Structures are given as C-alpha cells and as structure tokens.
Amino acid sequence: MNHEKSFASLANSLQMARDQWVRLDEKRRLLQEQLEQAAASLEEDYTILDTYEKARLLLQQSAEYARKQAKQQMEQIVTSALQYVFGPYISFHIELEEHGSRAVAEMYVVSDYEGIEVKTKPQDARGGGVVDIVSLALRVALMETAEPRQEGPLLLDEPGKHVSGEYTYHLYEFLKSLSTTFGRQIVMITHNQHLTESGDRSFLVTMQESGLSELEEIIHA
C-alpha cells in the first residue's frame, strides 16, 4: 500500500514537472520569437538610420558645393566689375567659415600695390567708389546665382555715385557689358551727364510747381 502511494506521488510529481517544463519551453519559445523580432526591428532601425545619415551627408555636401559655386560666381562677377572700372590690380574675395550649423561669409577687396597684397573690407578700400561697385556687382551676382533665376530689369538708383569722374567712362562700359552679358535691361536714375548720354533712351524728369513730375525724352546728337 505504501509502495502504491509512493508510486502515485512520484508519478504526480513527474507529471507536474512535465507540465512545468512544457510551460517553460513555451515561454522560452515565445521569448526567442520576441528576441528575433526585436533583433530584426533593430536591424531595420539601423538601416533607416544609415539611410538618413547618408541623406544628411549628401545634403550637406550639396549645400557646401552650392555655397562654393555661388562664392566662385560672386567673386568672379565682382572682381570683373572692379577690374573693369579700376584696373587689373584689384580683386574681390569671399572667405567662408563654419560657425556651428551655419556658414559665415566675410568679404574683402584685395589690392596689389607694387607686388604687396593689401586686403581690406570694401568700405575701407579707396573710399566710397569701391563700395558702390561692389554693391552693384553683388546685386547682379545675387540675381544671377539665385535659384530660380530672378527675371526682369536691373533697377539702379545713382549707380557709381561716389566713383571718381576719371572712372565714369569705365563704369558706363561695365554697365553696358552687364546688360549684354546677362541679357538684362538696365533702368537707372542718375545725375551723371556721362551716364545719361550712354543710355539707349534717356528722359529728363522735372518737378513742376504743381507738384507733378514732367517727363521729357532727351534726344542725343
């Protein structure tokens, strides 16, 4: 009788152990599936992150390339303008520096005095005439390098106002070259007689006592 009870108790314990093993094995299988799913999800996340990183780097490189292209075009246009007006021994340079996530540009006029290179800010170089030309050329450069390209005429108010009289003819030649090179009409307001006579069509604007403006076309001989 005691043997039967012992056998029954042992059989019951064995069955309980089997049941527990089945439960634990099922739990192990579920945990294994979850682990595999998590690993697959993590691998997918790494793939997405890698794609984003490559896209970010590509955008950074594209932005940097675009900045360099714009820098070169601006330097070329402004240097051409300065040399057109003031001669070959002057040029325009832009220095780009990275500050955090943005690029900062510093602009300089570089003059060559008998082999000695002098770099100054535009406002400090040869008085106001250089500033006038740099400002004018930069406006043109921005219009030409912008995407999409800005259409329409170039509107100028007293261009080269501070440029010395000896350079006025060169300024006129430069403005004509701008119009031809970029295919833009130039409309300007000026008190400079030489620039007035250089236009294809010129008009004299006078203010009447009534406060109204009178427009009269100037016929060049």
Handedness of CA 121, 126, 128, 134 (dihedral sign): negative
CA-wise closest residue to 113 among 125, 95, 122: 125
Please tell me the total number of residues recorded for the chain in this structure.
221
Cβ–Cβ under 8 Å, residues 79 and 94: no
Put simply, whether the predicted model's pTM sits higher than 0.85 gets the answer no
* Residue range 41-59, pLDDT digits in tens: 777 667 666 665 665 555 5
Distance, CA of 108 to CA of 160 (rounded, Å)? 19
Distance, CA of 153 to CA of 151 (rounded, Å)? 7
**Matching residue, tokens 């057109």:** 84
pLDDT tens for the 221 residues of the chain, in order: 556 666 677 777 777 878 788 888 888 888 888 888 888 777 766 766 666 566 555 555 557 777 788 888 888 988 999 998 888 889 999 887 776 666 677 888 898 888 888 888 877 766 668 888 888 888 888 888 777 777 888 888 888 888 888 888 888 888 888 888 888 899 988 888 888 887 888 888 888 878 788 888 887 66
Q: What is the CATH code of the structural domain delimited by 151-221? A: 3.40.50.300
* Residue range 69-99, pLDDT digits in tens: 888 888 898 899 999 888 888 999 988 777 6
How far is residue 67 from each of residues 72, 97, 140, 165, 204, measured CA to CA in Å?
Answer: 9, 11, 17, 36, 42
Cβ–Cβ under 8 Å, residues 137 and 179: no
- Structure confidence at residue 53 (pLDDT): 61
Q: In 103-167, where does DSSP find H-type helix?
A: 128-145
- Mean of the per-residue pLDDT values for the chain? 80
Distance, CA of 19 to CA of 26 (rounded, Å)? 11
Instruction: At 164, give phi and psi (nearest 5°).
Output: -60, 150
